A and B are shown apart, each in its own frame.
Chain A
Amino acid sequence: MLYLYAITDQPQLPAAPSSGLLGQPLRLIEAAGLWAVVSPIVPKEVQTNAEQVWAHEAVVEALLARGGVLPVRFGTILEHEANVEALLHKRAAVLRSDLERLAGCVELGLRALLLDLPAPPEPEPQAAPTSGREYMLRRFAAEQALQARRRQAEAAANQLHTALADYALASVQRQPTGERMLLSAAYLVRRDAINRFREAVAALDATNAQMQLLCTGPWPPYHFVSGDEERHS
Chain B
Amino acid sequence: MRISRQTFSSATVLSAIALLAIPSSLLGSGGGSSPSPTPPPPVMELTARDHYERGLKLRDKAWELEEKATKEPEKAEKYLKKAGKEFEKAARSQREAIKMDSRMYQAYSSLGYALRRLGDYAGSIKAYDQGLAIEPRYAEAIEYRAEAYLGLGRLDEAKDAYMHLFRADRARADELLEAMQKWVDEKRATAGDQMVEDFAAWVAERTQLAVQTAMVGSGRTW
Q: Tell whether A pairs with B.
A: no
